[in-house]
Structure 1
Amino acid sequence: MRVIISSNSDLPIYLQIVNQIKEQILSGKIQENQMLPSMRALAKDLGISFITTKRSYEELERQGLINTVPGKGCFVSHFNKELVYEAKMREIEEKLEEAISLSNSLGLSKEELISTLENLYEGE
């Protein structure tokens, strides 16, 4: 498992950890039932406080992505991939709604917005 903390990020450190571990779980880089590093080990590796890693793991557990087994550690949970897909689709829709609102405030047409999206999608 790889986690990189950025001092330039607007996100708090615990959320940077949550987002990176979550992405690795959802992408399959970290498998179901795989044990995560202990909170103390992760804190030491990242040079941060134990409380920060504890908060990150608690948030991942709240989201249903990991389970803590007392005395054994934290493990990736079994989760419904369909529910994860739906959540990601909702997130995409929210961001697209923001883009539509912003483009409307600039007076862009639907066609101009779609063209911009297509260009970004194709990497131009």
Structure 2
Amino acid sequence: MKILLSNKSDLPIYEQIKTQIKEQILSGAIAENEFLPSIRQLAKDLGISVITTTRAYSDLENEGFIATLRGKGSYVLPKDSELVREQYLKKIEEALMLAIENGKLANISNDELIVIFKALLDEQI
């Protein structure tokens, strides 16, 4: 598991950790049922507070990505296809909102944005 933290990021450190672990789970880089480093070990490896890693793991557990077994640690839950789909839908919506905002800034009409989107879709076939 690779975690890269940036002091220049707008995201808090716990959010950077959570996001990177989530992306690795979704991509399959961290396999289902694989145990994650302990909260203390991850904090030590990253040179951060145990409270910070606890928050990241807690959020991942609340979102259904990991589970914690008392005395054994945290492991990756099997991917729920609906959960994975929702995560990707959220990313798509964010990307499309950014495209819409940029289109408005560039004075591009909705119809032109749709043409661009359809052209990009056609290139993927």
Report how far residue 83 of structure 1 moved.
Answer: 2.9
- Worse overlay, 62-71 or 93-102: 93-102
User: Aligned to 2:35, what secondary structure does the other structure show?
Assistant: coil
**2:95 aligns to what?**
95
Determine if the alignment matches structure 1 residue 8 to structure 2 residue 12: no
Identity of aligned residues (%): 51
How many residue pairs match? The answer is 120
Deviations 1:1-52 (A, max 9, x none): 1101111101000000000000000000000110000000000000000000
- Worse overlay, 69-78 or 92-101: 92-101
Report how far residue 105 of structure 1 moved.
Answer: 5.0
Q: How does 1:1-124 map to 2 (within 5 A)?
A: 1-104=1-104, 106-109=106-109, 110-111=111-112, 114-115=115-116
Partner amino acid, structure 2, of 1:10: D
Report how far residue 82 of structure 1 moved.
Answer: 3.4
Structure 1 gaps, min length 5: none
Paired with 2:38 and 2:67, the residues of 1 have a C-alpha distance of 12
TM norm structure 2? 0.82
User: Aligned to 2:108, what secondary structure does the other structure show?
Assistant: coil
Q: Summarize the Cα distance change of 1:93–1:33 in structure 2 as closer, same or farther, 3 Å threshold.
A: same
